[in-house]
Structure 1
Amino acid sequence: MFDKGPLMPFFNNRSMDDWLKSFEQFVNKGMSQFEQYAEQMSFEVDTEETTEDYRVYANLKEYNPEDIQIEVLNQGLQIKAQREEIRTMKNKRTGHFQERKAMKRTERFVQLPFMFRNEDVKAQYTNGILTIAVNKNGGEVVNPTVPIEVTNENSGKGGKGKGQRE
């Protein structure tokens, strides 16, 4: 098939099956690296529906409650987290320390299967997990931001912790 022509050197001593296997491995490795990169840029979200509400659980352990913002948008929730990261590195040659500041930002949009108002949304941050409960009674959206209540497991349910926003 490839005895003559411009592709002859490319398929030299290799069967088409070997070439396709190599190509498949190349694509799979690229996809796996992309998935790892995408996971670093985002955060885990899990959802649960009960008879009274729809719950969203977001793993935001790398962020403090004051770094997180929730907005009600188009029948869904936009969860944003942003914090400043400072890295200190030592120059091996000179022994001097250098600080680098960077802004780490991530966000996710969670579409909900029903209409709701801002007043129907309650958010709570406990030990790095943001729990958002949306009551299923529907309505018109008025205020697009949602306050986050901060609790610690030791203080019990409903306790207020540091960094609470109202």
Structure 2
Amino acid sequence: MFGKGPLMPFFNNRSMDDWLKSFEQFVNKGITQFEQYADQLSFEVETEETTQDYRIYANLKEYEPKDIQIEVLNQGLQIKAQKEELRSMKNKRTGHFQERKSMKRTERFVQLPFMFRNEDIKAQYNNGILMITVNKSGGETANPTVPIEVPNENDEGKFEE
């Protein structure tokens, strides 16, 4: 069927291999560029687990402790950092100074592999590194399930209010 004719160059093995290689290079370049862009929006996080606790190290050298907030969400921690930047620039033509304000914000969510309570969390900031320690022993006593009540047979179709 494809032995001869105007479509033959598009269906030989060599041109298909070349096309697949170029498509793979295109996809890989796009993924690399996306990863570089995502790295600029976020900050580096490393985790360490011991028998007693779980430690999270966040590289927040561009922020002060007052700029950082930690929230407990869905068995994990949301680390947010936000600061206002003020830049002064001198207009070369007029000699006037201009100030520009901008808001820089970044955040990262770290899922924890166990249940925990707010009392189990401690955070320290030293030389641009935020260390969050979550004690494991407290989370083992927490009940992650919600009990379901079943009414008596006499109370058919009625709910307690």
What's the TM-score, normalizing by structure 1? 0.71
Give 1:87 shift.
2.8
Return the letter of the residue paired with 2:112. L
Count of equivalent residues: 136
- The residue number in structure 2 matching 1:22 is 22
What pairs up with 1:59-78 in 2 under 5 angstroms?
59-78=59-78
Give 1:18 shift.
2.5
Return closer, same or farther for 1:45/1:93 CA change in 2, 3 Å cut-off.
same
Matched, 1:45 2:8: no
Return closer, same or farther for 1:3/1:20 CA change in 2, 3 Å cut-off.
farther
- CA offset digits 1:34-58 (Å, max 9, x no partner): 1011001111111111111111111
Q: Please tell me the root mean square deviation across aligned C-alpha atoms, in Å.
A: 2.7
Give the structure with higher Rg (CA): 2
Return closer, same or farther for 1:97/1:52 CA change in 2, 3 Å cut-off.
same
- The residue number in structure 2 matching 1:31 is 31
Give 1:90 shift.
4.1
- The structure whose residues are more often helix, as a share, is 2
Unaligned runs of 5+ in 2: 143-161
Return the letter of the residue paired with 1:116. F
SS of the residue 1:61 aligns to: coil
Return the letter of the residue paired with 1:44. E
Give 1:116 shift.
1.2
Q: Aligned partners of 1:33, 1:52: CA distance in 2, in Å?
A: 39
Give 1:22 shift.
2.2
Matched, 1:133 2:133: yes
Give 1:110 shift.
0.9
Return the letter of the residue paired with 1:64. E
Return the letter of the residue paired with 1:4. P
Q: Aligned partners of 1:97, 1:16: CA distance in 2, in Å?
A: 59
- The residue number in structure 1 matching 2:109 is 109
Unaligned runs of 5+ in 1: 141-166
SS of the residue 1:71 aligns to: strand
Q: Aligned partners of 1:120, 1:45: CA distance in 2, in Å?
A: 20
- CA offset digits 1:89-148 (Å, max 9, x no partner): 4445445443322111111111111111111110000000000011112156xxxxxxxx
- The residue number in structure 1 matching 2:6 is 4
What's the TM-score, normalizing by structure 2? 0.73
Return closer, same or farther for 1:30/1:90 CA change in 2, 3 Å cut-off.
farther
Give percent identity, aligned residues only: 81
Q: Aligned partners of 2:5, 2:95: CA distance in 1, in Å?
A: 62
Q: Aligned partners of 1:128, 1:86: CA distance in 2, in Å?
A: 20
- CA offset digits 1:7-40 (Å, max 9, x no partner): x7x99xx923333222222221111111011001
